Amino acid sequence: MDLQTLTYIVVGLSFGLYFGIAIWARAGTTGEYYAAGRGVHPVANGMATAADWMSAASFISMAGLIAFQGYDASIFLMGWTGGYVLLALCLAPYLRKFGKFTVPDFIGDRYYSRTARIVAVVCLIVASLTYVIGQMKGIGVAFSRFLDVDYATGLYAGMGIVFFYAVLGGMKGVTYTQIAQYCVLIFAYTVPAIFISLNLTNNPIPQLGFLSDTADGTPLLVKLDQTLVDLGFAEYTAQKGGTFNMLMYTLSLMMGTAGLPHVIIRFFTVPKVSDARSSAGWALLFIAILYTTAPAVGSMARLNLTNTIQPGPVGSAEGNLAYADRPDWFKKWETTGLLAFEDKNGDGRIQYYNDKNPEFAAKAESFGWKGNEMVKVDRDIMVLANPEIANLPNWVIALVAAGGLAAALSTAAGLLLAMSTAISHDLLKRTFMPDIGEKQELMAARIAMAGAILVAGYLGLNPPGFAAQVVALAFGLAASSIFPALMMGIFSSKVNNSGAVAGMLVGLVSTLVYIFTYKGWFFVTGTEMLANTPDNWFLGISPEAFGALGALLNFATAFIVSNMTAPVPDDIRHMVEDIRFPKGAGEAHDH
């Protein structure tokens, strides 16, 4: 069976499964729409949380980043997994004990302030919208390549699918759909990795193959280092970025992870506080399966790609691949616009090298090369193209397509649900229209979901970078605004409403301004206000890493303002103590 037909069958079956679950799990009450009726088993919730958490950035972009950045991309592994531990230990059980539906719900009640609730909604929407752009990019990339449609058509199809099961089922439908999506995406990620590890190292376990020898007896990473150095690139295993920026970047990803609303609300769906802790542990286990595989996938993908384009000795007459002999996968990805070649010296062969390296550029000139002719290799294609590059069976390639779509759709649904519930529950029911009934609130939630999908789709049509870069900015925004408010709300009874509001605004605005300064696409796509280079960064901190400093500004502002204004009321102090020191692990209290 040809690849196109097989892909349609595998992806179609997965979509049919999602639609069937959405119809079966249709939400009939706001409790089911917002928190799945608080009846999800911890293991099931752990699996759904893992799918919600492992977005297109994890499935599609992370290995692509590792493939091209090497050692420096370890910040994503450390930041995202470390942040999840922070969330599981410091936030999840306490927020579940509080017994509300949303993050702004907690902030509004803890800081006894309508303003605090509204600011929290604004922070949530800004971070979630930025994050969902990456998911829409992932949906468009996967559809455009594997279903033979253009990027925009693929994006519209993804919007329609999310609209169906998220609007219909709410948290209940999304939860059980995400369980199915986790099974699809983890199988789709690990099976090709096993095949490729066997091909390159004769070891079926990617985590071990990553550290094993290749067929000629050379360790895989040593061979990759040498292959890249021969073409003027930096060593794959060498640290290339500044240590301080790596530290701040990791902290930003950690705090952003712990402050992501769409992940936090997953812990509101379990029956008890002890179940929140248990589901966090299960989720970490399910996440670890993919995250320990990603370094192997990234390194093996880079080696395969480089060896395909540069099959012989550098500088030899037949060292470079003849463009006319390029493999089918190369041609197919060219049609998407995500891979592009330009024959700069007219020799009909592909020169792939680092023309920014002055030393190697001089050597390349002696070979008759006139610049790197692979003018575009989108990092987001690496995981999706990897099985094709390695000549794996068609069913494996089709499975990867279904997995990439599952990863993007699951997180997109979670983000859109977080935004819609914040609008319907926190802005309407709890703030501006407290007298509306449950049916009206449920309808408002579905309308808000539809609106969020349309906005996300519009932004996805003009994605401002590859998926994981955009996601990193979203984490910075969550780290600088939401995370400090949650931490202080649980662990400090001294921070009052004025301090919390001031802290969130300072953290959010400072991070946005810093991002605007170097990422001009927030205003006009393609323009920059300052060159986005380490020489121009404040203290060498990149825009993606600034969230950690924004969080520190948030904490400092909140404590300073709280000390200068009225103290926290006694009933709020008692509520904080009740949250922080739960009596056993029994039923959570719904206030």
Rounded to two decimals, the pTM is: 0.82
Q: What is the pLDDT of residue 557?
A: 97
Q: What is the pLDDT of residue 203?
A: 93
Q: Give me 506's structure tokens.
A: 């300072």
Which CATH number fits the domain that encloses residue 29? 1.20.1730.10
pLDDT band at 231 (very low <50, low <70, confident <90, very high): very high
What's the start-to-end Cα distance of the chain, in Å? 58
Query: Is residue 330 domain-resident?
Result: no
Domain that holds residue 148: 3-301+388-580
Mean pLDDT in residue range 138-157: 76
Mean pLDDT in residue range 195-209: 92
Query: Is residue 531 domain-resident?
Result: yes
pLDDT in tens, 260-316: 887 888 887 888 888 888 888 888 899 999 999 999 999 999 999 999 999 988 888
Residue 584 has pLDDT above 50, yes or no: no
Q: What is the pLDDT of residue 201?
A: 93
Q: What is the mean pLDDT of the chain?
A: 84
Query: Is residue 501 domain-resident?
Result: yes
Residue 207 has pLDDT above 50, yes or no: yes
Residue 364 has pLDDT above 60, yes or no: yes
Burial of 574 (0-12, 13-18, 19+ CB in 10 A): exposed
Count of the separate structural domains present in the chain: 1
Q: What is the pLDDT of residue 467?
A: 46
Query: Is residue 591 domain-resident?
Result: no
Query: Is residue 37 domain-resident?
Result: yes
Q: What is the pLDDT of residue 471?
A: 67
pLDDT band at 16 (very low <50, low <70, confident <90, very high): confident
Query: Is residue 97 domain-resident?
Result: yes
Q: Is the distance from CB of 319 to CB of 343 less than 8 angstroms?
A: no
Among 210-219, 273-282, 369-378, the range scoring the smallest mean pLDDT is: 273-282
Return the axis-axis angle of helices 382-389 and 328-336, rounded to nearest 10°: 160
Backbone phi, psi, residue 195, to 5°? -60, -45
